[in-house]
């Protein structure tokens, strides 16, 4: 790989643990003094950005000058970003909210939010002339890297736990990645991928380690601000595993503030599963996440199953600095949220995505969200990613199809019953 080429919009990389700064040409991943916990924050020249932001493109690349990639670097041909923001005013009223929108990032090309980050990884990897780009993932970041890489013919290596849902593994194989199914947890797959990147010199996309993933993820926030004409919502509800997405929303808000476009920033509400509640515990007990040890991670919402959230510092800052909260919801509520969210919004979610809906209901119940609040709910992954979970959810509530003979009489009889 060659050193990261300089960019006019990127000034430096700041360690989020200490006060050291680095030149992107010298450091690719984390603060050398702090190792994996020392994630770096990309600092922009906002005068340059303000002077150059004027794209009418309808994709994440419309924010080009606010992204850490070269203006002339080839972008993947897939349509990434500018996902719909659906207003659900009636449903908001029924829930006791002032208004509600669903930002449907399950509509991205590989059907999860992760495409925004992987797009940046692929552009950066190619700027660096990386032979391979690698990532560990619970499944969606992998599918995203795999799909975006396929669109430009970029070789890549993927580490996912063997337990990853079949649809996600099918995506990886169809896109032609080199796939390592790791006999272990996501956390183990992550550590193995880190070692392999070190040993083989691959470009490392791993969340929390690669400073540029937050930058891709922030584009969802920038789009929401644009789609709502600068009328910021009062709260954003999003599910949290490693914490990169919620950290990305916070970064988007900080960018908008630096550009004088923020208004009153929304509270960021992060939702975890009771089975993987590292950040909820740290938030409730005011623990320091820099050295808090890993916690158990076992949940039906595989995409937010993270024993040691790799972007935990950015995630905690996001919630604390916006006056938000972390809350946990049990797996049965996550499953029940799949049909509940599908019926009330028209968006079919995988468990980790439905967790945000379950978290929103719980936040309303706890008084964290009220009838004063205009809320944006983030749909992060498609229900087609995990069909068995959706089937369990509808079976648990007793919803069954009517199996009929191919005759009208049978239909009438079924309707009567
Ligand atoms: C990755 C993912 C999340 C959580 O994002 P983090 O950055 O890991 O916090 C939520 N939902 C889905 C569907 C995901 O794939
Ligand atoms: Zn540091």
Q: Sketch out the chain's domains with CATH numbers.
A: 85-111+213-396 (3.40.50.1100)
Asked whether 381 lines ligand 1 (CB < 6 A), one says yes
Query: By the 8 A CB rule, do 332 and 362 touch?
Result: no
Q: Which ligand lies nearest to the CA atom of residue 29 in the structure?
A: 2
The mean per-residue pLDDT over the stretch 64-71 comes to 97
In the three-class reduction of DSSP (H, G, I as helix; E, B as strand; rest coil), residue 166 is classed as: helix
Q: What is the DSSP letter of 9?
A: S
Q: Which of 247, 304, 389 to mutate to test the pocket of ligand 1 (most atoms within 8 A of CB)?
A: 304
Count how many Cα atoms sit within 13 Å of the Cα of residue 261 in the half-sphere of its side chain: 18
pLDDT for position 201: 96
Q: Which ligand lies nearest to the CA atom of residue 272 in the structure?
A: 1
Query: By the 8 A CB rule, do 83 and 108 touch?
Result: yes
The mean per-residue pLDDT over the stretch 204-223 comes to 97
User: Is the alpha carbon torsion for 159, 314, 324, 327 positive or negative?
Assistant: positive
pLDDT for position 320: 98
Distance, CA 208 to ligand 1 centroid (Å)?
Answer: 13
- 77, containing H or E segment: none
The mean per-residue pLDDT over the stretch 234-241 comes to 98
Using 50, 70 and 90 to split pLDDT, how confident is the model at 230? confident
Average pLDDT over all residues of the chain: 97
Structure tokens that stand for 137 in this block: 């993932």
What is the full DSSP assignment across 122-178?
HHHHHHTT-S-EEEE-SSHHHHHHHHHHHHHT--EEEEEETTS-HHHHHHHHHHT-E
Asked whether 250 lines ligand 1 (CB < 6 A), one says no
What pLDDT digit, counting tens, does each position of 304-344 carry?
999 999 999 999 999 999 999 999 999 999 999 999 999 99
Asked whether 97 lines ligand 1 (CB < 6 A), one says no
> Rounded to whole angstroms, how far apart are CA atoms 395 and 57?
43
Structure tokens that stand for 98 in this block: 């002032």
Structure tokens that stand for 230 in this block: 């600068």
Q: Which of 242, 305, 328, 334 to mutate to test the pocket of ligand 1 (most atoms within 8 A of CB)?
A: 242
pLDDT over 80 at 187, yes or no:
yes
pLDDT over 70 at 417, yes or no:
no
What pLDDT digit, counting tens, does each position of 271-310 carry?
999 999 999 999 999 999 999 999 999 999 999 999 999 9
Which residue is closest in CA terms to ligand 1's atom 13?
A: 381
The mean per-residue pLDDT over the stretch 202-224 comes to 97
pTM tops 0.95: yes
The mean per-residue pLDDT over the stretch 120-140 comes to 97
pLDDT over 90 at 91, yes or no:
yes
pLDDT over 80 at 262, yes or no:
no
Asked whether 302 lines ligand 1 (CB < 6 A), one says no
Distance, CA 332 to ligand 2 centroid (Å)?
Answer: 40
Structure tokens that stand for 280 in this block: 């909820």
The mean per-residue pLDDT over the stretch 358-384 comes to 98
pLDDT over 70 at 149, yes or no:
yes
Give percent of the chain above pLDDT 70.
100
- 11, containing H or E segment: strand 10-15
The mean per-residue pLDDT over the stretch 206-227 comes to 97
């Amino acid at each position: 790989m060659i050193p990261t080429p300089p960019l006019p919009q990127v000034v430096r990389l700041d360690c989020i643990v200490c006060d050291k700064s680095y030149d992107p040409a010298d450091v690719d991943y984390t603060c050398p003094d702090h190792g994996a916990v020392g994630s770096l924050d990309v600092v922009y020249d906002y005068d340059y950005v303000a002077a150059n932001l004027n794209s009418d493109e309808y994709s994440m690349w419309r924010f080009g000058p606010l992204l850490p990639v070269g203006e002339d670097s080839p972008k993947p041909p897939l349509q990434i970003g500018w996902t719909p923001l659906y207003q659900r005013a009636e449903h908001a009223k029924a829930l006791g909210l002032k208004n509600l929108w669903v930002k449907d990032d399950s509509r991205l090309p590989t059907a999860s939010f992760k495409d925004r980050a992987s797009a940046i990884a692929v552009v950066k990897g190619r700027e660096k002339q990386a032979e391979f780009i690698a990532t560990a993932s619970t499944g969606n970041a992998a599918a995203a890297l795999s799909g975006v890489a396929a669109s430009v013919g970029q070789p890549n290596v993927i580490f996912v736990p063997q337990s990853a849902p079949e649809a996600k593994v099918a995506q990886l194989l169809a896109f032609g990645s080199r796939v390592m199914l790791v006999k272990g947890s996501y956390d183990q797959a992550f550590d193995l991928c880190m070692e392999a990147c070190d040993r083989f010199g691959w470009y490392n996309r791993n969340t929390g380690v690669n400073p540029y993933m937050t930058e891709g993820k922030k584009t969802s926030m920038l789009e929401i601000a644009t789609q709502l004409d600068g009328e910021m919502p009062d709260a954003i509800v999003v599910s949290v595993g490693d914490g990169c997405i919620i950290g990305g929303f916070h970064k988007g808000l900080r960018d908008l503030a630096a550009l004088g476009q923020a208004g009153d920033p929304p509270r960021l509400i992060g939702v975890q599963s009771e089975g993987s509640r590292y950040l909820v515990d740290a938030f409730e007990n005011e623990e320091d996440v820099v050295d808090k040890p890993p916690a158990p991670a076992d949940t039906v919402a595989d995409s937010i199953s993270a024993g040691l959230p790799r972007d935990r510092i950015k995630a905690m800052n996001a919630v604390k600095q916006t006056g938000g909260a972390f809350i946990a919801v049990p797996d049965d509520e996550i499953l029940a949220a799949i049909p509940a969210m599908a019926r009330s919004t028209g968006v079919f979610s995988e468990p980790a995505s439905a967790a945000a809906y379950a978290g929103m209901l719980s936040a309303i119940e706890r008084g964290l969200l009220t009838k004063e609040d205009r809320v944006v709910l983030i749909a992060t992954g498609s229900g087609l990613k995990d069909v068995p979970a959706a089937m369990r959810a509808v079976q648990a509530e007793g919803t069954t199809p009517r199996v009929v003979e191919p005759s009208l009489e049978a239909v009438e009889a079924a309707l009567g019953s």
